[in-house]
Amino acid sequence: MRDRQSYQFALASAAVALDIVAGTIRSARVAVGGVATVPWRLPAVERELQGRPIDAGLFHRAAELSVAGAQPLRENGFKVELLQRTVEKQLATVAAMP
């Protein structure tokens, strides 16, 4: 056993919960991590998803909304695109679950 010299952690993460009935998103909960000092809930993204049929275009628009207004620092601008892709992928993954 030895001490780690570095620790692995997600540079960006997304937690997604979707309540889907007959192909339509009845409710959505979306939170992201690794982009602020605390996990960040995205109510605007949740509202965008709610009541809409599952669609790849919807997930793309929601992911764009997830980074709207982002103000990255000089050293972490790459996280904007990383977060957008992460949110879009998680939405599609959760929507495909039985």
**Domain covering 13-96 in this structure, CATH number:** 3.30.390.50
- The per-residue pLDDT for range 10-22, each reduced to its tens digit, is 899 999 999 999 9
Residue with tokens 């997604």: 16
d(C-alpha 61, C-alpha 8), whole Å: 30
The 10s digit of each residue's pLDDT in 31-87 is 999 988 899 999 999 999 999 999 999 999 999 999 999 999 999 999 999 999 999
List, in order, residues 6 or more apart from 58 with CB less than 8 Å away.
48, 49, 52
CA distances from 87 to 3, 7, 22, 40 (A): 33, 23, 23, 12
Residues 42, 68, 36, 76, CA torsion sign: positive
pTM attached to this predicted model: 0.89
Domain coordinates of the chain in residue numbers?
Answer: 13-96
DSSP SS3 for 67: coil
